[in-house]
Amino acid sequence: MDSSLISTTKENKRENNWIGRFAPSPSGQLHFGSLIAALGSYLIAKQNNGKWLLRIEDIDPPREVEGAAKQIIQTLENFGFEWDGEILYQSQRNLAYQQAIDSLYQQKLIYYCKCSRKQIQQRNQGVYDQFCLNRQIRDPLAAMRIKFNDAFSSFNDEIKGACCFSQPADLEDFIVKRRDGLHAYQLAVVIDDIDQGVNHVVRGADLLDSTPRQNFLYHLLNHQPPRYYHLPLVVDADGNKLSKSKFSPAIESHKASYYLCKALAHLGQKVEEGYYHISPKEILKTALQNWQLNTVPKQSVKHFEVNAN
């Protein structure tokens, strides 16, 4: 069979077996920015008759807020979301991550690095300079970095179009295992998406610059990367991103319909006056019927106001 036929068959399989996901980190409760990612990923998956999985990215205990995972799940339910299958918790996936690390190390694709943030700052203004690349360190207490290949610096995004990264910080050898022994987000997210069969990743544009790294990992692990859809960020009046770490307020379930309407408007979708008075589930159902990918803004959008009346 010629190779174009093989790739067409693979593409058909992907479109017929659409798997998307929402993957919040429990570093705080759901805020308006994360609702955008939940809503966008849900609507895109469901409009394509796909599955929508929920994964709790509790891979970083120092940043985790106690009880946040439970609250996130409860909030999603209150907002009318229904996910397919069991929830996957990254905290239970260490074996899979470590197997990937071992295999990459055996293939000499990653290396140990003992440099502190401060040293990297002093030597090269915070951009990693491959100081440990050829030092042959073998120390379980050191971090592990992957030797990045600049050929992966660009990719096509289904919403934003061609994305290209050329800043030194975006192209440095990045960490896959931290000095504190925790597996890094970049690695965990790729291993999980591969193992869960996720082939359409819809998420906030704050993760745009992670995508080249993740695509490179897909390449090293011999897997086809997913299609990416990076949703416009919500920014405050000063242009700063709303994020859990900046203590943006949690979205309250008793105002679920209000927030869903605002989130739909943020995603460039038509919101009828009547939406405000129907249940979250009904809003999701109607939004699904009316969903238009081509009206989703390509750039960040200023937040309306944080508090609902």
Q: For residue 139, with 0-12 CB atoms within 10 Å meaning exposed, 13-18 middle and 19 or more buried, which class applies?
A: exposed
Instruction: Give Cα 19 distance to the centre of its chain.
Output: 14
Nearer to ligand GLU among residue 207 and residue 278 (C-beta): 207
The distance of closest approach from Cβ of residue 26 to ligand GLU in the complex, given in angstroms and rounded to an integer, is: 9
- Degrees to nearest 5, angle at CA 27 with 25 and 29: 90
Angle between helices 211-220 and 185-195 (to 10 degrees): 60
Instruction: Give Cα 108 distance to the centre of its chain.
Output: 27
Contacts to ligand GLU by CB under 6 A: 23-25, 57, 189, 203, 207
Other beta carbons within 10 angstroms of residue 121's beta carbon come to: 12
Nearer to ligand GLU among residue 207 and residue 235 (C-beta): 207
Specify whether the CB–CB gap between 22 and 84 falls below 8 A: no
Handedness of CA 198, 204, 205, 209 (dihedral sign): negative
The distance of closest approach from Cβ of residue 244 to ligand GLU in the complex, given in angstroms and rounded to an integer, is: 8
Nearer to ligand GLU among residue 124 and residue 215 (C-beta): 215
Q: Which residue reads 């800043």 in tokens?
A: 167
The distance of closest approach from Cβ of residue 202 to ligand GLU in the complex, given in angstroms and rounded to an integer, is: 8
Nearer to ligand GLU among residue 200 and residue 262 (C-beta): 200
Q: For residue 233, with 0-12 CB atoms within 10 Å meaning exposed, 13-18 middle and 19 or more buried, which class applies?
A: buried
The distance of closest approach from Cβ of residue 67 to ligand GLU in the complex, given in angstroms and rounded to an integer, is: 16
The distance of closest approach from Cβ of residue 158 to ligand GLU in the complex, given in angstroms and rounded to an integer, is: 15
Nearer to ligand GLU among residue 40 and residue 280 (C-beta): 40
Q: How many CA atoms lie within 13 A of 113 on its CB side?
A: 24
Specify whether the CB–CB gap between 173 and 133 falls below 8 A: yes
The distance of closest approach from Cβ of residue 262 to ligand GLU in the complex, given in angstroms and rounded to an integer, is: 20
Nearer to ligand GLU among residue 46 and residue 111 (C-beta): 46
Q: Which amino acid is at 32?
A: F
Q: Which residue reads 């907002």 in tokens?
A: 79
- Helix (H/G/I), strand (E/B), else coil: 224: coil
The distance of closest approach from Cβ of residue 130 to ligand GLU in the complex, given in angstroms and rounded to an integer, is: 26
Nearer to ligand GLU among residue 25 and residue 286 (C-beta): 25
